[in-house]
Structure 1
Amino acid sequence: MAAEPFPPWLTAFTGLTAWPQDNPPYIPLDYVDLATVPNHIAKRELGICDGVERTACSFDCHLCIAFDDIRTCNKISQTFDDGPSPSTPKLLEMLPSKTTFFVQGVNVVRFPEIFREQHRQGHLLASHTWSHPNLASLSNEEIVAQLQWTNWAMNATAGIIPRYFRPPYGAIDNRVRAIVRMLGMQSVLWDRDTFDWKVNAGIKTSPEVVEEVQDWKLQGGGWGLILEHDTTIKTVNVGLDVAKALGPNQLTVAECVGQTQWYQDPARLGNEPRRGHRAASYQRS
């Protein structure tokens, strides 16, 4: 399976000739003003919440939801993180409803044909960073790089720029949100984490996950955002079992909030390189 070629317009803009590895380089952008990012919120490792003030509005520490976070849905909405992967096509073949995929940029360029097929089938494609770090532990520049390189990968591969973003591990606070907003995205969290990765580890079985989701649905009124993964055939099979149990007519995240424009309008992005534009017109700020 061939990787996505590095586009000439991105070489012209960045001076690079290949997609980055796990730690993408920071490239300044004229519409990202890091001087406006809250500077009182310190970097922190995952699960380290001592000293994190409530005013930071940390989801992973305090389950804090900001005014523009998407946390729920008025119908059932399965969502899948961390792909695309070689296991994703089974979901594409068998899911009864359109869904939302939160993709890693590094996987988009590794498996571009799968990503393009997700787009061709009309699923909503959203950002899950370049390589799945804990964003709260990164510098502002590193956060920009994780988000922007994913946007560039999605643009180069399918001509789209995401409107929605999900933070790995739910690690988000007002510092991270400020950067997400500058890149034109809205943060998406969840009502129900299936912990489907435990099936990979042999800690849970698929029937146990399905039963827990069904119980949650009954107790919660029959609606909400569900977090799953399309990284392995085991988690894909769990997702299909959950879909069978919950039924069709689910919503994408965009449909949950009544948004008809699923992706960003490239015209708002100033001097960012965009697919189909002349590389000579791009100036690094």
Structure 2
Amino acid sequence: MALTFDDGPMASTAKLLDILAAGKVKATFFLVGQAVEEAPELVRREHADGHELANHSYSHADLGRSSSAKVTSELARTQAAIKRATGVTPTLMRPPYGSTDKQVATITKRMGLAQVLWTVDPLDWQSRNTKSVERKVVGETRPGYIVLMHDIHPSTVAAVPSILKRLAAKGYVFVTVSELYGKPLAPGRKYIER
């Protein structure tokens, strides 16, 4: 199964990276371009720790309701910010709010970005409740699933140690999204689970 974290990096990301390193767990980070520019050292650490870096737009824009020029700009600016910080050019993106359409598919195909959505959403941004996040992730995860969380919320980061322990006890292995599929993902196409 793949753990994914959206909207960072932020201050709470550093603690999450410590937790993941202690558990020898790799995750996929869907990064907001503005946050990358504000905290490039955290993005460099994510990369150095072996995590997968992916695009989550520049300003957390609703891409499915945006013009072609805006979608292109949001994605291109984030690609550039991540490349400047780490030397890496992402091949995955997640549309904020899961908002996508044919135009987004066409643009992401042209830019070489596969669209990665999710199978489990604990609504951590809404509840901000550590126990609720833990209960939903552990209860709803199945083999091949992609879990959506947000490293910008300390309540979510606090849930991760228990999530790792409980899912590992069930036999789960934590991989990046690309490792979950074991092959390059097709640009423009949507992926929800393996």
Normalised by the size of structure 2, how large is the TM-score? 0.87
Return closer, same or farther for 1:240/1:229 CA change in 2, 3 Å cut-off.
Answer: farther
**Structure 2 CA distance, aligned partners of 1:161 and 1:243?**
28
Residue 251 (structure 1) aligns with:
175
RMSD value, Cα: 1.6
For the pair 1:186 / 2:114, whether they are aligned, the reply is yes
Percentage of matched positions with identical amino acids: 36
Question: Which residues of structure 2 form unaligned runs of 5+?
Answer: 186-194
Distance 1:257 1:133, change over 3 A: same
How far the C-alpha of 1:187 sits from its partner, in A, is: 0.5
> Is the 8 Å Cα contact of residues 144 and 180 (structure 2) preserved in structure 1?
no
Larger Rg: 1
CA distance in 2 between counterparts of 1:102 and 1:212 reads: 21
Aligned pairs (5 A) from 1:1-285: 76-95=1-20, 96=23, 97-200=25-128, 205-217=129-141, 221-247=142-168, 249-259=173-183
Which secondary structure state, in structure 2, belongs to the residue aligned with residue 172 of structure 1? coil
CA drift at 1:197: 1.2
Alpha-carbon distance in structure 1 between the residues aligned to 2:83 and 2:137: 34
Runs of 4+ in 1 over 6 A off after TM superposition: none
| Residues 209 and 233 (structure 1), Cα distance of their counterparts in 2 relative to 1, 3 Å cut | closer
SS across alignment from 2:146: strand
Structure (1 or 2) with the greater helix fraction: 2
Figure out how many residues of one structure are paired with residues of the other and give that number: 179
Rounded Cα–Cα distance in structure 2 between residues aligned with 1:240 and 1:165: 26
Structure 1 contact 196–238 (Cα < 8 Å) conserved: no
Task: Give SS of 1:227's match.
Answer: strand
Q: Which residue of 1 aligns with 2:188?
A: none
Deviation, 1:260, is: 7.1
CA deviation profile, 1:80-119 (whole Å, cap 9, x unmatched): 0000111101111111211000000111010011110011
- How far apart, CA to CA, are the structure 2 residues paired with 1:87 and 1:136? 29
Counterpart Cα distance in 1 of 2:50 and 2:58: 22
- SS of residue matched to 2:61: coil
